[in-house]
């Protein structure tokens, strides 16, 4: 199970580097910048926060703390907008 899973009503499109998530319940788009898109792509493919941070470290010149803060921020925003599956889990720090 990947670290993040989108809700069934959330459709993610990342064709132009910067991504968009469509909430099909409300017909509302959430635009993601390039960094958030990359974080989401990686979090959808890996099982733990440590794996996600390791993969992001290869792409960004940032500290692990900064990368984790970005992951936490994105997760919180997607959760606030009810775009994550209820089964999404987070690895404790």
Residue 52 pLDDT = 98
CA distance 19 to 88: 20
Q: What is the pTM of this model?
A: 0.89
Average pLDDT, the chain: 92
Confidence tier at 92 by pLDDT (50, 70, 90) = very low
Q: Where is pLDDT greater, at 15 or 51? A: 51
Taking only the tens place, the pLDDT of each residue in 15-47 is 877 999 999 999 999 999 999 999 999 999 999
Cβ atoms 13, 19 nearer than 8 A: yes
């Amino acid at each position: 199970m990947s670290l993040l899973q989108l809700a069934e009503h959330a459709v993610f499109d990342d064709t132009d580097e910067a991504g968009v998530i469509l909430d099909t319940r409300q017909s509302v788009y959430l635009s993601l910048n390039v960094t958030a898109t990359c974080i989401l792509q990686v979090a959808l493919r890996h099982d733990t926060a440590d794996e996600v941070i390791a993969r992001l470290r290869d792409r960004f010149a940032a500290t692990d703390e900064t990368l984790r803060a970005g992951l936490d921020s994105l997760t919180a925003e997607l959760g606030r907008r009810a775009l994550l599956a209820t089964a999404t889990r987070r690895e404790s720090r």
